[in-house]
Structure 1
Amino acid sequence: MKSLINTILFSMLLLGSFQASAQEQLDEYLQTAAENNPGLQASFNEYMAALEAVPQVSSLPDPQIAFGYFINPVETRNGPMKFKLSASQMFPWFGTNGAKEDAANQAAKARYELFLEAKSKLFNDVRNTYFNLYFSNTAIAVTHDNLELLSSLQKLAIIKVEAGTSSLVDEYRIEMEIGDLENQLALLRDKLLAQQVMFNKLLNREREDQIDLPDTLWDEDLPLPKADIRDSILSQNHQLLSLDMQQTAWQYKQEAARKEGAPKIMIGIDYTIIGKGENNMSGKDALMLPQVGITIPLYRNKYRSMINEAVYQETAKANEKLNKSNVLETVFEQSWKDFQDADRRITLNKNQAKLARMSIDLLETEYSNTGANFEEILRMERKLLQYKLELEKARSDKQAAVSFVNYLMGK
């Protein structure tokens, strides 16, 4: 008894180790996709470009330097004015550049959330394609096993026909079944090849690169209860976070637009070179003149339009966020339904396949003895194949639903 318990525990440990190893292999593929996928790299570069906008909007305008030469020198009591140098710097109203910088920072953060969204979507695409690969690969193995079963049954049918205890029609029927399965097997192989190319291109690898797949897909449940998942989606989804930051950016742009309508301050200096003249009694050869000026924003329509644009854009982002929240809740409900359905189908098809296998064993024994119920054997063989394929499809669908829910939560 103790030996039996140890054997069971060892088997469970071995299964857990295999599942962990298979998931670790998928994690390695995800890491490769994150490093190599060109679409994700493009999204990251767009974020880096958005960061470069921050110093652009927070800098002062370039200072102005001018040089003037008097073709006909103007005589002064100190002497004739030869040429003049001037320098000036324009300063925006207090806080204008700070508001622009805050807006650019928020826009860059929004761009970063879109990069994270692209990464989450890429990971979901990689996982989904991996699960589809698993199903196609397993379906090929199941169909091949079923062909071997039919071949064995065909040999039995030939023996029965030669013995005169069965009709030649039985052999024809089984040949038809084998032909259908061989066609289905060829279709599955073509499908697997297309999925392999898709998977490798998501990782930006060569299309023929090998992909390691588990013999049996792991069974992972959703990470949180339903209500907690919904709250997590509404608080962590990268699309919603990006829209929230875009809305904040437009709030700062409103503030910047209001300050743009305030006067701008100019500070400068003129330096005039004075030559020697008959009346240059003071000995001065230069004249320095400080300057202070302001711009007068008389044309207010432009600034009002800038403010109104920012207000409308902020409202638009708020409405877009609300709409996206509603869409995400709807999509989550569908994903929750898909998860529940796949979980039920796993249990159902396990039981159905077991019953079908038992029925086939009984029917084959009866056929060996009496030659009866051959058509029923073929029907149950089709049922067994269907249940096995549906079981693997349910496993794949369940993990795809888990993956999509994690994507909605920003993982």
Structure 2
Amino acid sequence: MKKFLKIYHGSANFCSKERGCGSNQYQSISNIHKYLFLIVFMVIQIGASNAQILDNYIKEAVENNLGLQASFKQYQVSLEKVNQVSLDNPQLNIGIYTRPMELLMGNQRAEASIMQMFPWFGMLKTQKDEATLMAEAQYEAFREERNRLVFQVKDTYFQLLQLQHTIDITQENLEILKVLEELAIVRYQGGNTSGTVSSLSKVLGNSNPSSGATAQSDGMNMAGSSSSSAPMGQNTAGNGMNSMPSSSGKLTDVLRLQVQIKALESELSQLEVNKRPLVTKFNQLIGRERNEDVEIAAQENLTNINGWEEVYLDSILLNNPMLMMLEKESLAYRKQAEMAKLEGSPMLGAGLNYMVFSPRPESGMIGGMDGMEYMPSGMGNNMVMPMVSMTLPIYRKKYKSMQSEAILWMESSQKQKIELENLLATEFETISTSIKDSERKLKLLEEQIELMQQTLEISVTSYSSEGSSMEEIFSIQRELLDFKLEKLTTEIERQVAIARLESLIGI
């Protein structure tokens, strides 16, 4: 796995070493996007420096995810095709005569020839450039797969984060209801409610000194009123019929709170059950056992991207893997058109022909049959014959069709690239607007939560002195819970939007 990471990090430099295969415009674009990429990457790293837990999970996913490893293997396969560009193998022919061929220069016993064909000038370089560009396009496909994996890890992690924080908020709300239950019981029993009101202030986390003073003051008044009303309690004790309605109403508040507590406890149990499929999915993404525990941050630090909208958009248009893949495919198809044109040129061949002869013995008689049957002895020297050859590509229709095909593919890639740029720009505007709306909404929700907490504390203090009803407290408590859950949902939606934005950049 370490070897995989080493190759994975080193492969990013492959394209820069092979830039000779592209155009000058392609080189200038690459130089520009390197610096812009570094700027954006530093900004994102600053915003994500506190998300160490998530960073570790992303690193683990990149190391262990089998799908990503398979995609990287495909990139390595495409790299090997660059090394496969070479001359055709030379052709060797050997022939041995079963009976010597009697020739004037001797008896020919065998013949051997070797021939090497050479493509037209520039053909090998063009083929290597085309294979290199296709390998670079495959690398961009690998980057896209990696970015998709990173986004899935982030999205699933944020879902777990939202679920865990929902559990925390529900648990806090449960504690509030338990304090209210204690308050209702104390009030039903006619005891001192100042301590219970103080406990509620701690649960709400209200650090406003004036609120605390008010609660303490109200508690003191409650204590005074309780002590001063003791004689009234004694008087009403003698008349049970007069005190029954009030006690019955307070007991109803207790029972209603207990019903709410039971409902929240059941909801907490269901939320814990809902975590299991998410944990399984998350472990599968990072390549671990499905039942392993997942560490969730206690508090999520929001990534800040304010003021970098233009940089993000420019970086997307220069670094998006799919755009880069289409750009390199377009250049590769241009090379294929050049290859088709070169294939229509003749191929040249050079070789040698070696003929093996043996001396011929003298035979026949001089003068016999006018000397026609006489064959002198001698000769038998081996012969070497240089040879050249050339193909004749006279069927031009095939090569013109191949060239037109490559040009059409190139034009198709260029149009796809333009279409994708428009779609990415639209998606960027949508995501950017969503992030800005989330930020405005978060600011509003924070103010609303603070006000609702103060309202709840005041209502509870008023309830302790019989100035408000439990129904009013229930309504405020539900609104406070809704605001907290809505704030959590908005924060998670913002983080997911930023994660999507980062995946478009192609980090």
TM-score (norm 1): 0.89
- Which of 295, 305, 319 in structure 1 is aligned with 2:401? 305
Answer with 247-256 or 33-42: which moved more: 33-42
What is the alpha-carbon distance in structure 1 between the residues aligned to residue 352 and residue 306 of structure 2?
Answer: 68
The Cα offsets for residues 4-30 of structure 1, whole Å up to 9 and x where unpaired, read as xxxxxxxxxxxxxxx987422222222
What is the alpha-carbon distance in structure 2 between the residues aligned to residue 356 and residue 304 of structure 1?
Answer: 76
What is the alpha-carbon distance in structure 2 between the residues aligned to residue 281 and residue 288 of structure 1?
Answer: 22
- AA of the residue aligned to 2:171: H
| Matching residue of 1:12 | none
How many residues of Structure 1 are paired with residues of Structure 2 in the alignment?
392
| Matching residue of 1:110 | 137
| Matching residue of 2:497 | 401
What is the alpha-carbon distance in structure 1 between the residues aligned to residue 315 and residue 121 of structure 2?
Answer: 40
Q: Can you give the 5+ residue segments of structure 1 that lack an aligned partner in the other structure?
A: 1-18
On the 8 A contact 1:165/1:371 being kept in 2, the answer is no
- AA of the residue aligned to 1:399: Q
| Matching residue of 2:383 | 287
The Cα offsets for residues 228-258 of structure 1, whole Å up to 9 and x where unpaired, read as 2211111111111111011000000100010
Task: Say whether residues 1:43 and 2:71 are aligned partners.
Answer: yes
| Matching residue of 2:411 | 315
Instruction: Decide which structure has the larger Cα Rg and report it.
Output: 2
What is the alpha-carbon distance in structure 2 between the residues aligned to residue 203 and residue 71 of structure 1?
Answer: 70
After TM superposition, give the deviation of residue 183 of structure 1 in Å. Answer: 3.9
| Matching residue of 2:86 | 59
Answer with 197-206 or 181-190: which moved more: 181-190
What is the alpha-carbon distance in structure 1 between the residues aligned to residue 48 and residue 96 of structure 2?
Answer: 82
- AA of the residue aligned to 1:186: S
| Matching residue of 2:247 | 164
What is the alpha-carbon distance in structure 2 between the residues aligned to residue 243 and residue 280 of structure 1?
Answer: 75
Task: Say whether residues 1:150 and 2:246 are aligned partners.
Answer: no
What is the alpha-carbon distance in structure 2 between the residues aligned to residue 396 and residue 280 of structure 1?
Answer: 104
Task: Say whether residues 1:237 and 2:264 are aligned partners.
Answer: no
The Cα offsets for residues 121-155 of structure 1, whole Å up to 9 and x where unpaired, read as 22222222222222111110110121122123234
Q: 1:224 to 1:304 in 2, by over 3 A?
A: farther
Answer with 94-103 or 340-349: which moved more: 340-349
Q: Percent identical across equivalent pairs?
A: 33
Task: Say whether residues 1:124 and 2:151 are aligned partners.
Answer: yes
Other structure's SS at 1:81 match = strand
| Matching residue of 1:9 | none
On the 8 A contact 1:77/1:280 being kept in 2, the answer is no
Q: 1:348 to 1:402 in 2, by over 3 A?
A: same
The Cα offsets for residues 164-185 of structure 1, whole Å up to 9 and x where unpaired, read as 1626553454344334433432
| Matching residue of 1:359 | 455
- AA of the residue aligned to 1:23: A
What is the alpha-carbon distance in structure 1 between the residues aligned to residue 437 and residue 182 of structure 2?
Answer: 40
Other structure's SS at 1:222 match = coil
TM-score (norm 2): 0.73
- Which of 61, 73, 81 in structure 1 is aligned with 2:100? 73
- AA of the residue aligned to 1:47: Y
On the 8 A contact 2:360/2:378 being kept in 1, the answer is no
- Which of 265, 271, 283 in structure 2 is aligned with 1:182? 265
On the 8 A contact 2:53/2:297 being kept in 1, the answer is no
After TM superposition, give the deviation of residue 321 of structure 1 in Å. Answer: 0.5
- Which of 159, 173, 192 in structure 1 is aligned with 2:275? 192
CA RMSD across the alignment: 2.2
- Which of 420, 423, 430 in structure 2 is aligned with 1:324? 420
Q: 1:65 to 1:256 in 2, by over 3 A?
A: same
- Which of 420, 424, 444 in structure 2 is aligned with 1:348? 444
What is the alpha-carbon distance in structure 1 between the residues aligned to residue 307 and residue 71 of structure 2?
Answer: 30
On the 8 A contact 1:97/1:256 being kept in 2, the answer is no
Other structure's SS at 1:370 match = coil
After TM superposition, give the deviation of residue 290 of structure 1 in Å. Answer: 1.6
Task: Say whether residues 1:383 and 2:410 are aligned partners.
Answer: no
On the 8 A contact 1:269/1:290 being kept in 2, the answer is yes
After TM superposition, give the deviation of residue 263 of structure 1 in Å. Answer: 0.9
What is the alpha-carbon distance in structure 2 between the residues aligned to residue 166 and residue 368 of structure 1?
Answer: 14
> How is 1:267-286 mapped onto 2 (pairs within 5 angstroms)?
267-278=350-361, 283-286=379-382
Other structure's SS at 2:249 match = coil
| Matching residue of 1:213 | 296
| Matching residue of 1:11 | none
What is the alpha-carbon distance in structure 1 between the residues aligned to residue 96 and residue 338 of structure 2?
Answer: 43
Task: Say whether residues 1:201 and 2:284 are aligned partners.
Answer: yes
Q: Can you give the 5+ residue segments of structure 2 that lack an aligned partner in the other structure?
A: 1-46, 190-245, 362-374
Q: 1:67 to 1:21 in 2, by over 3 A?
A: closer
Answer with 388-397 or 350-359: which moved more: 388-397
Task: Say whether residues 1:34 and 2:59 are aligned partners.
Answer: no
After TM superposition, give the deviation of residue 368 of structure 1 in Å. Answer: 2.1
What is the alpha-carbon distance in structure 1 between the residues aligned to residue 52 and residue 144 of structure 2?
Answer: 22
On the 8 A contact 1:160/1:371 being kept in 2, the answer is no
| Matching residue of 2:217 | none
Answer with 147-156 or 32-41: which moved more: 147-156
After TM superposition, give the deviation of residue 88 of structure 1 in Å. Answer: 0.9
Answer with 45-54 or 389-398: which moved more: 389-398
- AA of the residue aligned to 1:170: D
- AA of the residue aligned to 1:254: A
What is the alpha-carbon distance in structure 2 between the residues aligned to residue 182 and residue 323 of structure 1?
Answer: 52
Other structure's SS at 2:354 match = strand
What is the alpha-carbon distance in structure 1 between the residues aligned to residue 463 and residue 249 of structure 2?
Answer: 9
Answer with 246-255 or 165-174: which moved more: 165-174
Q: Which runs of 4+ in 1 moved over 4 A?
A: 19-22, 158-163, 279-283
What is the alpha-carbon distance in structure 2 between the residues aligned to residue 182 and residue 21 of structure 1?
Answer: 36
| Matching residue of 2:342 | 259
| Matching residue of 2:38 | none
- AA of the residue aligned to 1:84: E
- AA of the residue aligned to 1:236: N
